[in-house]
A and B are shown apart, each in its own frame.
Chain A
Amino acid sequence: MFYLKLIIRNAFRHKLRALLTIIGVAVAILAFGLLRTLVGLWYLGVETSSATRLVTRSSISLVFSLPISYRERIRHVPGVTEVSTMNWFGGVYISEKNFFPNFAVEPETFLKIYPEFVLDPAQKKAFLADRQGAVAGRKLAAKYGWKVGDRITLKGTIFPGQWEFVLRGIYSGAQKSTDETQFFFHWNYLNEVMRKTIPRRADQVGLFTLAVARPDLAAEVSQAVDALFKNSLAETRTETEKAFQLSFVAMTEAIMVAIQIVSYVVIVIIMVVAANTMAMTARERLGEYATMKSLGFRGYHIAGTVFGESLFIALLGGIVGVMGTFPAAHIIETELSQFFPVFAISTSTIMLQLASAVAVGIAAGAFPTWRGATIRIAEGLRRIG
């Protein structure tokens, strides 16, 4: 109890210095947490992808489409339980700055393959029944103040024109990590308009999503699907949803590695700053350590108080940093929802943040602890006066 009292009082002996150190650690831990979350989010699509979903796309590139006729041939591949179509629509709402992901999908099969998009049964029925119907994620609807029944017009960028939809449903995510900022509408609506306006682009699909009976069938089904279209005009590439997501992440992996490095550099910088502060503190108190030793206190008593103080300050900064991470994440999620639809701080990130704070405390306290514990009494006493 006495040592705890001494540690706490020593920690706040120089209030401004302690406050600045705590703020420094807090900001570093906060930045570390946000950067780690950002990196985690980048891989979220990969981590949350289903093991029983496959994606079939053009073997050349995603920008090349596939004929809709492939759907029935894929459906008959052994192991495939469902096939859906999907086109990246790329429409904008009112102006370019209002960007959100929007897709033309085959509603019935899409909702079967993606059960994480949860729709009220009545809304689902209305969506399926209305060819111009659309569904939006809860966050997206909240952002633009959309209500079920609203008419929403998107300006096509890939598919020219003004596209009018009726919002028939607002989905919510089955998990916290489900993206609630997307917009889905009927692929048939898109196709009908294409038939009328640009017939050569009709009956074309960006990609097929497949559901397979069991995860272990994924490789076999992928090979079977691609074999079907080998040597055709539009060869396919079928891969697991995870691999498909990874191909996107791989494009930006260097940036992610850089962000990861920066997150560690932030911690190293605050380690050095905190170590300097603790070294300065210990240097000022060598006389006190010597006095305590002269009274019979041992090196480990002194080491405990110095190390405890370092750990206490770092942990306090760490806790403040962790506490600050939640409102910061909320602001990011609210203000930058088009880039970060889900900016949730995971338990593992909080643990990493606290572990980093402890590491800062240990590293910052190591030298002063050794110095305090090994100071010769006569030498320490000479520093007073």
Chain B
Amino acid sequence: MTGSTSDILVSVRNLSKAYQRGSQIVPVLEDISFDIPAGEFLALMGPSGSGKSTLLNLIAGIDKVDTGNVLIDGIDITTLDETELADWRSGNVGFIFQFYNLIPVLTAFENVELPLLLTGLSRRKRQEHVATVLSLVNLTDRMDHYPSELSGGQQQRVAIARAMVSDPAILVADEPTGDLDRHSAEEILSLMDRLVREFGKTVIMVTHDPRAAERAHRIIHLEKGVLVPVPPSVPSCST
């Protein structure tokens, strides 16, 4: 399942986005262009309000661009309508959120099963897939636990299993270690690293944490909605 890093999977072209606050138009992203090869672990860094989460949302197809294009595996997702985008997301993107975003009334197993409910898979097949990804994140023994019965690190591992279960090409992670202690954060980063190395996933991670960014193959730095060279304080980076 290891992908070639030379193939461009994500191509962002002249992307701009602004929000309206009252009568004021606030630009968030301005003329952003970059590519992400398949199998890359990319970190998006920048201060609060720099537009990195917005950029992540646009790449993941959960927000609409004002101008520009986002091509994922040759498909310009900016041309898709809501229904097409929903279908596209369910098959191509896995989401990992800062606060895990698990459904509290569902067990770990049922949370991971969620994306598969949108596929035509039989119950048995779904159970097989869920068991596989839960064993990958080392949570087989916790599958019947509700999120409230799990630690933060375990909840994030469930969220990663949920993101992985439909085998998407891209995993987007918005501050995946932001709510975790150092030890749990390391576990999560190692797991994401493994997903890139062993399963060829392309990971795009928004983070404030330089130690998390260290795990990435490449860092893109944003400030006030534009790409800027990576500051010297951020280690092992190239834009």
Interface residues of A (CB under 8 A from B): 2, 6, 9-10, 13, 287-288, 291-299, 376-378, 381, 384-385
Interface residues of B (CB under 8 A from A): 54, 57, 60, 62-63, 82-83, 86-87, 89-91, 95, 97-99, 101, 103-106, 110, 114-115, 117-118, 162
Contact A298 B86 (CB under 8 A): yes
- Residue among A10, A287, A288, A296 making CB contact with B86, cutoff 8 Å: A296
- Kindly provide the distance from the CB of A376 to the nearest chain B CB, expressed in whole angstroms: 8
Extra inter-chain contacts (15) besides given A6-B105, A377-B57, A381-B57, CB under 8 Å: A2-B110, A6-B106, A9-B106, A288-B101, A291-B101, A294-B62, A294-B89, A296-B115, A297-B86, A377-B62, A378-B57, A381-B101, A384-B97, A385-B98, A385-B99
Q: In the complex, which residue of chain B has the Cβ closest to the Cβ of A296? A: B90
Contact B95 A294 (CB under 8 A): yes
Contact A381 B86 (CB under 8 A): no
Q: In the complex, which residue of chain A has the Cβ closest to the Cβ of B179? A: A385
Contact B97 A288 (CB under 8 A): no
3 nearest CB pairs, A to B: A296-B90, A9-B105, A377-B62
- A298–B88 CA distance with the chains assembled, in angstroms: 12
Contact partners of A385 in chain B: CB under 8 A: 98-99
Q: In the complex, which residue of chain B has the Cβ closest to the Cβ of A301? A: B118
- A296–B166 CA distance with the chains assembled, in angstroms: 11
Contact partners of A377 in chain B: CB under 8 A: 57, 62-63
21 A-B contacts (beta carbon < 8 Å)? A2-B110, A6-B103, A9-B105, A288-B103, A291-B95, A291-B97, A293-B62, A293-B86, A294-B95, A295-B118, A295-B162, A296-B86, A296-B115, A297-B114, A297-B118, A376-B63, A377-B57, A378-B63, A381-B62, A385-B98, A385-B99
- Kindly provide the distance from the CB of B134 to the nearest chain A CB, expressed in whole angstroms: 17
Contact partners of A294 in chain B: CB under 8 A: 60, 62, 89, 95
Contact partners of A288 in chain B: CB under 8 A: 101, 103
- A6–B107 CA distance with the chains assembled, in angstroms: 11
- A376–B87 CA distance with the chains assembled, in angstroms: 16
Contact A381 B97 (CB under 8 A): yes
- A230–B99 CA distance with the chains assembled, in angstroms: 92
- A294–B103 CA distance with the chains assembled, in angstroms: 13
- A293–B87 CA distance with the chains assembled, in angstroms: 10
- A87–B63 CA distance with the chains assembled, in angstroms: 83
Contact B101 A384 (CB under 8 A): yes
Q: In the complex, which residue of chain B has the Cβ closest to the Cβ of A295? A: B115
Interface-central residue, B60, B105, B114, by most chain A CB under 10 Å: B105
Contact partners of A298 in chain B: CB under 8 A: 83, 86
Contact B89 A296 (CB under 8 A): yes
**With A2-B117, A6-B105, A288-B103 in contact, is A295–B95 under 8 Å at CB?**
yes
- A287–B103 CA distance with the chains assembled, in angstroms: 10
Contact partners of A9 in chain B: CB under 8 A: 105-106
- A291–B97 CA distance with the chains assembled, in angstroms: 9
Contact partners of A291 in chain B: CB under 8 A: 95, 97, 101, 103
Q: In the complex, which residue of chain B has the Cβ closest to the Cβ of A378? A: B63
- A9–B106 CA distance with the chains assembled, in angstroms: 8
Q: In the complex, which residue of chain A has the Cβ closest to the Cβ of B58? A: A378
- A13–B90 CA distance with the chains assembled, in angstroms: 27
Q: In the complex, which residue of chain A has the Cβ closest to the Cβ of B92? A: A296
Q: In the complex, which residue of chain B has the Cβ closest to the Cβ of A382? A: B53
Contact partners of A10 in chain B: CB under 8 A: 105
- Kindly provide the distance from the CB of A83 to the nearest chain B CB, expressed in whole angstroms: 73
Q: In the complex, which residue of chain A has the Cβ closest to the Cβ of B114? A: A295
- A293–B99 CA distance with the chains assembled, in angstroms: 16
Interface-central residue, B60, B91, B103, by most chain A CB under 10 Å: B103
- Kindly provide the distance from the CB of B93 to the nearest chain A CB, expressed in whole angstroms: 8
Contact partners of A13 in chain B: CB under 8 A: 104-105
- Kindly provide the distance from the CB of B221 to the nearest chain A CB, expressed in whole angstroms: 22
Contact partners of B117 in chain A: CB under 8 A: 2
Contact partners of B86 in chain A: CB under 8 A: 293, 296-298
- A292–B62 CA distance with the chains assembled, in angstroms: 12
Contact partners of B54 in chain A: CB under 8 A: 378
Contact partners of B82 in chain A: CB under 8 A: 299
Interface-central residue, A2, A291, A376, by most chain B CB under 10 Å: A291
- Kindly provide the distance from the CB of A262 to the nearest chain B CB, expressed in whole angstroms: 38
Contact partners of B104 in chain A: CB under 8 A: 13
- A291–B115 CA distance with the chains assembled, in angstroms: 11
Contact partners of A384 in chain B: CB under 8 A: 97, 99, 101
Interface-central residue, B60, B101, B162, by most chain A CB under 10 Å: B101
- Kindly provide the distance from the CB of A16 to the nearest chain B CB, expressed in whole angstroms: 16
- A181–B114 CA distance with the chains assembled, in angstroms: 63
Contact A295 B103 (CB under 8 A): no
Q: In the complex, which residue of chain A has the Cβ closest to the Cβ of B123? A: A1
Contact partners of A378 in chain B: CB under 8 A: 54, 57, 62-63
- Kindly provide the distance from the CB of B143 to the nearest chain A CB, expressed in whole angstroms: 16
- Kindly provide the distance from the CB of A2 to the nearest chain B CB, expressed in whole angstroms: 6
- A298–B87 CA distance with the chains assembled, in angstroms: 9
Contact A295 B89 (CB under 8 A): yes
Contact partners of B106 in chain A: CB under 8 A: 6, 9
**With A10-B105, A377-B62 in contact, is A292–B98 under 8 Å at CB?**
no
Q: In the complex, which residue of chain A has the Cβ closest to the Cβ of B104? A: A13
- A281–B100 CA distance with the chains assembled, in angstroms: 20
- A11–B91 CA distance with the chains assembled, in angstroms: 30
